[in-house]
Homo-oligomer: A and B are copies of this chain.
Amino acid sequence: MASLDDYRKIVGDEIIGKIFKAATPLLGKRVIHLNSTYQGGGVAEILTSLIPLMNDVGIDVDWKILHGTLDFFTITKKFHNALQGEKLNLSEIKKRVYMECNERFSVYTHIDHDCVIVHDPQPLPLVKFFRKKQPWIWRCHVDMSNPNPELWAYLKLFILRYNEVILSNENYFKQELPVPQSCIYPSLDPLTPKNKEISDKLISKTLSKFKIPTDKPIISQISRFDKWKGTESVIEVYELVKRKVDCRLVLLGSMATDDPEGPMLYEKLTRRVMDNKDLILIAVENQILVNALQRVSSVILQKSLKEGFGLTVSESLWKGTPVVGSCVGGIPLQIIDGKNGYLVDPKNTEEWVDRVTEILRKPKLRSKMGDFGREWVKKNFLITRQLLDYINLLQRVINI
């Protein structure tokens, strides 16, 4: 079972001691996290690591997931996209399904905790169906820089009942919202199969299992196959880079099952890689493969048009690999231009080609960037940092 002790060898005694000390006033306090899935997606991944650690330091933390129907999840997916700026037909029936599902769930969810933490828009209305006895926190992981105004006005109805809103980026703060807002960056868990140290033997075994040869330098992008990730234009960049340095491109990702355009994009990509042995497209979910590929690549690209946070950048940096990434979403918080990779305008193909080529050609720069990247992540984007942020937040909100 995960214990905070296991992180000592990574982050050092001081941080661990600080966490235990900060948690002291919260000992025995009861907290509940509510979100909409145990599996799939970054939020579930973070909670899977974070919640056992919160318990390990002595806080009694529960985790429960909302029971939604298929209709409900179709609607909340639209809400999610609309919060990120897309259009939405906010009909009365959508509102009704959204509310009813939350109300039904509230019937068999008895909350007598000292604090409630609600994640993302799906369980947001829950607060309306309880006699409030404790502070409620809304933790939103969505890019909220430019939400659909009609939906935003509707959701504020619930948000106003919360004691605090937590966002992943200061840029998402809403001036007109009379609720305290603060920012907690996502983080990665260095002990999961995706991020832990793995042996060279396991790396070779994994790469050969997925038919990735290592006789040429590898550049890669590891991202869901959806329209926001710029995957097609990564191929363009690669083709121009290859004229200067012989290398391979690996595109690794999973299908975005909730995105109807996903399979179309994947088919398109399949056709483009067909006659090119140096262009490898892999659609599987395999944490060890991600880990191995991040370690073996010379450069990683993250050519997104939009990102909530883009934690995959930190995952690559953690393995000592430089990243060339778009200056969108949370990527500029992770890439320090010239230090652990480069930040590039997603539309400036020429600069992408130059930057990737430069890193490929300069092994010393690559190694220096790799070291800096790992240290940057260690300081800023590990689960222990986020654990401390949550502890500090709870201490402030529970108001001890």
Contacts and interface: CB of A to CB of B under 8 A. Distances in A.
Interface of A: 1, 30, 33, 38-39, 51-52, 55, 60-65, 67, 100, 103-104, 107-110
Contact of A108 (B55, B100, B108, B109): B55
Contacts of A30: 110
Contact of A62 (B38, B55, B100, B110): B110
A16 B270 CA distance: 61
Contact of A67 (B38, B60, B104, B107): B38
Per DSSP, chain A at the interface is: mixed
B110 A60 contact: yes
A108 B51 contact: yes
Contacts of A104: 1, 52
Given A38-B67, A67-B38, A107 B1 contact: yes
Contacts of A1: 100, 103-104, 107
A30 B108 CA distance: 11
A393 to B, nearest CB: 18
A250 to B, nearest CB: 24
Contacts of A33: 108
A108 B38 contact: no
A269 B189 CA distance: 48
20 contacts: A1-B100, A1-B103, A1-B104, A30-B110, A38-B67, A39-B67, A51-B108, A52-B104, A52-B107, A52-B108, A55-B108, A61-B108, A62-B108, A62-B109, A62-B110, A63-B67, A63-B108, A64-B64, A65-B65, A65-B67
Contacts of A100: 1
Contacts of A60: 110
A60 B103 CA distance: 15
Contacts of A103: 1
A12 B302 CA distance: 65
Given A51-B107, A63-B108, 7 more contacts: A1-B100, A1-B103, A30-B110, A52-B108, A60-B110, A63-B67, A63-B109
Give the residue among A39, A67, A104 with the most B Cβ atoms within 10 A: A67
Question: Which 3 A-B pairs have CB atoms at the shortest separation, nearest pair first?
Answer: A63-B108, A38-B67, A51-B108
Contacts of A61: 108
